[in-house]
Amino acid sequence: MLKKILLFFLMVSMALIATPAIAKSLVLDYDQIHTIEGEVFLPLRQVAQFAGYIVQYAADEVTLTKKDNQLRFNRTDSTLVNNGHHLYLYSEPSLVSGILYAPKTFFEDHLRLGVKLNQGNVIISQLPETGAVLLNQRETFQDKYLDLQLQYPRLRGLDQKVETQLNSIIAEKVARIKTDAHKDEEDLLANLWSPNAKIEYYLNYLVKRNQGDLLSLVFEDYRYQGGAHGLTAKFAYNFNLKTGKQYFLEGLFSPGEDYVSLLNQKIEEQIRGDRHKSQNYNFDSIAPEQEFYFTNEALVICFQSYEIAAYAEGKPEFAIPLSQLEHVLSPELKELSGRNAVKK
C-alpha cells in the first residue's frame, strides 16, 4: 500500500514537472525592438503569439485571431478592424529585415497588454481580463452635403442600474453630436458657398483602461465644416463600474491637495526633458477641468490641438505614473486604481 502511495505522488510530481508553465511576461532586450521617431516598435508575431494570438499574413493584410477575437489590419494604409470596430493606426507598422514591427500603443490599446520600458529591456505582460463587456455600435448617415460616421461602445455585464446610467451618458453625447451635424448641414444649405461643399462628422473611441471597477474611454470627435482641414476634439469618460460614478480631475485627489500645481510640475519636467517639446510647446498650466484618462500604470493629461502647441504637433498627452501621485490621490482612487496594494 505504501509503495502505491509513493508511486502515485511520484507520478504527480513528474506530471507537474513535465507540464509547461504559462508565461505571464515576455522580456525583450533593446536589440529586439526598434525606435522610430521616438516611438517604440515591438516585433508583431513574437508579442502577439505570447498573448495567445494566431498570426496570419496575406499580402499587406495581417490577421490576429484568439478564440472569438479577431483583429485585421492593412499595414500599408493603417486601417484596423477589431471585432467589428473600425479604426486607424496612428503609426504604421514597419517592416525591418523581414520582421514586421508594430507600435507599442497597438499592443496596449488593441491586445490589452501591459508594456513597461525599463533601462535595459522591455517587459510585456498579459493583463487580467476584467471590467465591462463593450459592444461596438456603429451609425452612419450620408447625403449630398453630410457624411456622418459614429462609433461608440455599449456597456454590458454590469449592475443593471449602473449599466443603464453609463450607457445613457454615452448615448446623450452621441445624440448631441448628431444634432450638431444636422444643424450644421441646415446652416450650410442656407448659405451654400459651393455646390461641392460637404460637412464631415466622425466619432470614434479607444478603451484605455478596463480593469477591475475602473473604465477609461477616450473619444475623438472630428468635424470638417470647410477650410484647410477639420478639427478633432478629444474627450474622455472615466467611470467607476461598481457605483456608476463619473470622475472629473478635481475628484481624483484628496480634499485640499494642490493637484493643479503638482500636475503642472510633472508636465513641465517632461517638456524640459525633451528638446523638441521644449522648443515647440508653450505650456503655462492645466485647467482645473483638463481632459484625462487612466492606463493601467498612469494618469494621462490630454490637450487639444492648438492648446499648447501648433496644429502640426497634434494633441499632446503627458503620462504621469500613478506611483508618483499616490500621496495625493483620494482613498477611493487609490483603491480603484490598485495603488493601495503598492508599498510607499
Confidence class for position 308, pLDDT limits 50, 70, 90: very high
Q: What is the largest CA-CA distance in the chain?
A: 96
Q: What is the pLDDT of residue 163?
A: 97
CATH of the domain at 138: 3.30.565.40
Does residue 77 belong to any structural domain of this protein? yes
Does residue 323 belong to any structural domain of this protein? yes
One domain for residues 133 and 171: yes
CATH of the domain at 114: 3.30.457.10
Does residue 13 belong to any structural domain of this protein? no
One domain for residues 38 and 67: yes
**Domain residue limits at 209:** 129-246
One domain for residues 282 and 212: no
The length of the chain is: 344
One domain for residues 81 and 29: yes
One domain for residues 242 and 257: no
Supply φ then ψ for residue 249, to 5 degrees. Answer: -55, -45
Q: Is residue 185 over pLDDT 90?
A: yes
Q: Is residue 13 over pLDDT 50?
A: no
One domain for residues 135 and 178: yes
One domain for residues 136 and 241: yes
Does residue 16 belong to any structural domain of this protein? no
Tens of pLDDT, residue by residue over 77-94, are 889 999 999 998 888 898
| Domain end point (choices 94, 126, 158) | 126
pTM of the model: 0.86
- For 259, how many CA atoms within 13 A lie in the half-sphere containing its CB? 22
One domain for residues 235 and 316: no
One domain for residues 140 and 228: yes
Cα–Cα distance for residue pair 243/139, rounded to 1 Å: 29
Compute the average pLDDT of residues 131-150.
94
One domain for residues 241 and 254: no
Confidence class for position 54, pLDDT limits 50, 70, 90: very high
Helix (H, G, I), strand (E, B) or coil at 226: coil
How many structural domains does the chain have? 3
Computed over every residue of the chain, the mean pLDDT equals 89
Measured in whole angstroms, the distance separating CA 124 from the mean position of its chain's CA atoms is 16
| Domain end point (choices 73, 91, 126) | 126
Q: Do β-strands 121-126 and 25-29 pair in parallel, antiparallel, or remain unpaired?
A: antiparallel
| Type of residue numbered 204 | N
Compute the average pLDDT of residues 101-128.
90
